[in-house]
Structure 1
Amino acid sequence: MTATSDAPPRQLAALNPIEQLRAGHLPRRLLQLYVGLTLYGASMGLMIQGNLGLDPWDVLHSGITKHLPLSFGAVVIAMSFVVLLAWIPLRQWPGLGTISNAIVIGLVTDLTLATVDRPDELWLRIVFMVAGVVVNALAGALYIGAQFGPGPRDGLMTGLVRRTGLSVRLVRTTIELTVLAIGFLLGGVIGVGTVFYALAIGPLVHLLLPIFTVRLRGQ
């Protein structure tokens, strides 16, 4: 469905983990989920190798790698499960997409870092940065649109919104500024890529998500 279609927009369903598996179109949704998560990890690897700045959570991850003998992907996985602990008081249940997100993205990021060299030329680093952000948006639209539950970090945001009654904008901004500040203090990579990500990711996902949101049974 395109943005100019006369049909009503597809909505993300509020489903528990069992309902997610019973909602239909399972083969297509599983394929879309894991393609999206794989592309997401690859996009993170590109931004890291571009070395022009990372998104707020990855600034935190890169800062942690400077203090612990862990790979970037291992830190991503570990932090995903730390964030999932915060879901407990929020009374949220992780879905298949949540757990897959916590594991697959970190593994693919490390694989990308092991196979894609960091370029010396500035123009190529800019290409890596731009491609990383665009692919990240596409990947996010794919795995979110598969409707298997939010990733750990997005689920933290939506859980806090539900429990506090505060706006999505306020909660998301507060979380991202907090992790950005902590990551910066730990020595994480901040640069023009951080600003570009912040400005571009929202509009890109807004454009792509309706295209890749799978219409579930009963919608």
Structure 2
Amino acid sequence: MRKKLAWQWTFFFAGLIVMSLGISMTIKGRIFGVSPWDVLHIGLFQQLGLTIGTWSILTGLFIIICSSLYLRQWPKFATWLNMMLVGLFIDFFNWLLPVSNVLAIEITYFVLGFFVLSIGCAFYISASVGAGPRDTIMMIIVEKFGGSVRMARTIMEVFAVSGGWLLGGPVGVGTIILALGSGQIIQMALPLFKKRLEQLVGEPVQP
């Protein structure tokens, strides 16, 4: 059991770090637009200050509170960690990665960030220790109104992009690419990470 938990939490933390790096890379290449939620985070940052990572934490906290009131239960510990650590890692990598106004470098940032973000997301999800705040509210939408997970995700992201755009967040073709393409990479990578984790722990890993 200890071995299993150790590997699960290793995958969880490593995945969050990789995903956050990818998010920061797409933010550095935001001439093409950023992911739907980051449009909102950057819009809030531009209008109200603080940092992009802080707004990621605050919007996650708001979602956790709303979902907890609806479900009448506290989320898992991993959900709180997800909320806090992703925001902190985003700010760290935003500080670490150099800014560039050279188009070729911005393209490189965006393309690499797209793949790194998606792979990191699949990495942490494969640990099966708890969903992120936005994933939780997405499942509530499916349960309440029916439809597919993809449709619920799309509805959430449309609201996030709309609010962020009104606040001046960067919307572009990259926003569409990230919204539609990252899920495809996650879907392909997730079984591979899941299989590798189960090989390491020697038994099936269930949520």
TM-score using structure 2 length: 0.89
Distance 1:193 1:35 in 2: 25
Q: Which residue of 2 aligns with 1:38?
A: 17
Change in 2 beyond 3 A, CA 1:202/1:218: closer
Change in 2 beyond 3 A, CA 1:26/1:218: closer
* 3-state DSSP of counterpart to 1:79: helix
Q: Which residue of 2 aligns with 1:175?
A: 156
Q: What is the root-mean-square deviation in Å for CA atoms of aligned residues?
A: 1.8
Distance 1:218 1:42 in 2: 26
- Superposed CA deviations along residues 70-112 of structure 1, whole A, max 9, x for unmatched, are 1111111111101101212431642232111101111111111
The one-letter amino acid of 1:98's match is T
- Superposed CA deviations along residues 108-165 of structure 1, whole A, max 9, x for unmatched, are 1111111111112111111100111101111111111100111000111012212332
Distance 2:27 2:124 in 1: 21
Identity of matched residues, %: 32
TM-score using structure 1 length: 0.84
Q: Which residue of 2 aligns with 1:25?
A: 4
Matched, 1:117 2:86: no
- Superposed CA deviations along residues 186-219 of structure 1, whole A, max 9, x for unmatched, are 1001122212212320110010011112446586
Matched, 1:66 2:71: no
Change in 2 beyond 3 A, CA 1:23/1:60: farther
The one-letter amino acid of 2:109's match is F
Matched, 1:57 2:22: no
Q: Which residue of 2 aligns with 1:47?
A: 26
Cα distance, 1:28 vs structure 2 = 0.7
Moved more, 85-94 or 95-104: 85-94
* 3-state DSSP of counterpart to 2:116: helix
Q: Which residue of 2 aligns with 1:96?
A: 77
Change in 2 beyond 3 A, CA 1:217/1:57: same
Aligned length: 198
Unaligned runs of 5+ in 1: 1-21
- TM alignment of 1:1-219, pairs within 5 A: 25-51=4-30, 52-91=32-71, 93-213=74-194, 214-215=197-198
